[in-house]
Amino acid sequence: MIPPFLKYFFIFIFRGRQKQRLLFLALSGVAISSFSLLVLQSTMGGLQNSMVEKSKNILGDALIQFSKQDSVFVQGVEQSIRKKGLKTQAELVLEVLLRHENFISPAIAHGIDPLSPPSYLTEYKRATAEFGIDLGHKLQMAPGSNITIISPSHTDSFMDDIPRSANIDVGHFKNFSIPELDASHFFVRKSLLQNIVGDLSLNTLRIWGDYDYEVLKLELRAKYLGQLELLTWEDQHSTLVYSLQLESMVMIFLFIAMTFLVSICIISGLLIFFDKIKVDLAGLYILGAGQDKIQKSFSLFLIVITHLSTLSGLLLAFFALWLLDFYAPNIMPEMFVERKIPIHITKTGVFISYLIPQGMAYLFSLFSMWHFKKESDWLTFLRGY
């Protein structure tokens, strides 16, 4: 008997002579809420994910910092990491000062193996250094300029502790599209930095690849107690990760508030709807339909319409995101990290986009249903009709 009830409710709302426009608009608002939430999560998530992936491609998914900076020891650890199917790169990382003519700036030097440079340094040459583009502009450098690398933490006692330094020519400027790297990082052959330090030390091992780094962290801690420390990208950028999470939480909170307003319209629409069909339901009650059956049918009806409204919003969002991903033009200037809006759809995003509008709509529908049950004393209604 429930399907005929559902058919009756649908016809009365969407096709009847007295179709409920307010309730129809409220259900449309639920669909728009799920549509907007998925589109916003996917576009903002795409921008966030693109920035994180670009940073990880250069800085690594994780890195190991060594307290014992012996190159043989570092290479031994590197071999054990590579056996796990991970890509690695041993470096000597120093905080230095760069001087070009009358300009001076702090910077972070990456000493790399010139025979096997990382893939993101496509134009690297052994005899030169490659700089982030903003760092080059800051020091007014050009390709072929000669710069001085100064390490204040390494000094010679001759003539009262003079900081060690070395000169090198500028090779190319790299636009990493990551402000942190563009503004303060540069890459040079490790032997030049080792000459400044005064030994063949290495202090950093970068790691790329999918792996459970928490498990790897425990393994290395047990095997090399106190000699090294593994830090994931998230550990190194904890403030940024927290900021991105906070941004997502604020966005979801704002959409909950928006869905709350839509749900108030649902209450108003349902109360008007109940008042319109009260006589019809009383007639069905006289013909033998049980009051519990009517209430269960209407509860099922509420679940179905809120579910369909939310799914229709999600399907429309998937279509809109597909169009945006394949046909969107480059709308941003070249100075931006992304010139077109990247799309990143996740299962969590889809679940949240479904759960919040559906949950809020059904919660307020239950309130209306409670009011409906409270007022559904058919005998009293029929006596007074």
Three-state DSSP class for 107?
Answer: strand
| Ordered DSSP codes for 290-357 | -HHHHHHHHHHHHHHHHHHHHHHHHHHHHHHHHHHHHH----S-TTSS-SS------HHHHHHHHHHH
CA distance to 99, 149, 193, per residue, from 166 (Å): 11, 5, 8
Can you tell me the distance from the alpha carbon of 227 to that of 204, in angstroms, rounded to the nearest whole number?
Answer: 12
The confidence score (pLDDT) of residue 339 equals: 58
The confidence score (pLDDT) of residue 274 equals: 64
Three-state DSSP class for 214?
Answer: helix
| Ordered DSSP codes for 155-200 | EESTTTTEEEEEEEEEEEEE--S-HHHHHHEEEEEHHHHHHHHTS-
pTM: 0.71
User: Structural domain boundaries of the chain?
Assistant: 2-55+240-384, 62-209
Nearest to 42 by CA among 286, 285, 351: 351
Instruction: Specify whether the CB–CB gap between 321 and 42 falls below 8 A.
Output: yes
Instruction: Provide the residue-wise pLDDT of the chain in tens; the chain has 385 residues.
Output: 456 655 666 666 656 555 556 666 777 777 888 888 888 888 888 778 878 888 888 888 898 888 877 778 888 888 888 888 889 888 888 999 999 888 898 999 998 888 888 888 877 787 888 888 888 888 888 888 889 998 888 887 766 678 888 888 888 888 887 888 888 889 998 888 888 888 888 888 899 988 888 888 888 888 887 788 888 888 888 888 888 888 888 877 877 777 776 666 666 666 666 666 666 665 555 555 556 666 676 777 777 777 888 888 889 988 988 888 777 666 555 555 555 677 888 888 888 888 888 777 777 777 766 666 665 555 555 555 5
How many CB atoms are closer than 10 A to CB 366? Answer: 13
Three-point CA angle 302, 308, 311, nearest 5°: 135
Q: Kindly calculate the radius of gyration of the chain based on its CA atoms and give it in whole angstroms.
A: 32
